[in-house]
Amino acid sequence: MTVFFTGDSHYGHWTNPERNILKYCNRPFPTIEEHDEALIAAWNEVVGLNDTVYHLGDFTLGNDGMAKRYFIQLNGRVYILGNRFHHDKRWLRANTIYYTKSDSVTILSPIYTMKIDDLFIVLCHFPFAIWPRRHYSAIHLHAHSHSNYQGEGKILDVGVDNVNRIWGAYRPVSLDEVREYTEEK
């Protein structure tokens, strides 16, 4: 089982070409439908049915039905923090059950801390300048900035735009890739 992190998918983000994520982030897809298909394929290419993905928000701007439509196409067990202030507030409900191709989706608190082996990780949709245990080599993973905020220390924007900038694909990034990247910082 591999652990992955991602964010800022923006599935189904507007059909108005003047206000959608394709234009805002200069994503190279002719339509939002082709964008969504490409991001789902990229997700499923790296994430297996038994893997775990932490999605750090801006999953979709759509409603509950739209979120369900995307989740059922994705591999893995998904934990989602969400952007409760804007993009995910229309569908993110603590009592609603969503399913992926292989498991259910778990809704986490907006700020989530975890420890994997010897590594302490702080997750949030938004980037922090200071985070818990930063001075003890804790890693902070976030989304929201679409590659526009890099920060100091062991911090990484795991949103698909920044992952594409670093690794050349709009896909989730593995824990091993996170470790390697943050060690270089």
Closest CA to 67 of 92, 44, 47: 92
Fold classification of 3-184 (topology level): Purple Acid Phosphatase; chain A, domain 2 (3.60.21)
Domain extent listing, the chain: 3-184
Q: In the prediction, which pLDDT does 15 show?
A: 61
Q: Which run of H or E residues covers position 34?
A: helix 32-46
Q: How high is the mean pLDDT in each 10-residue block of the chain (185 residues)? A: 96 72 91 95 97 95 86 95 82 78 87 94 96 94 93 96 97 97 87
Is the CB of residue 57 less than 8 Å from the CB of residue 89?
no
Instruction: Give the pLDDT score at 185.
Output: 74
pTM: 0.94
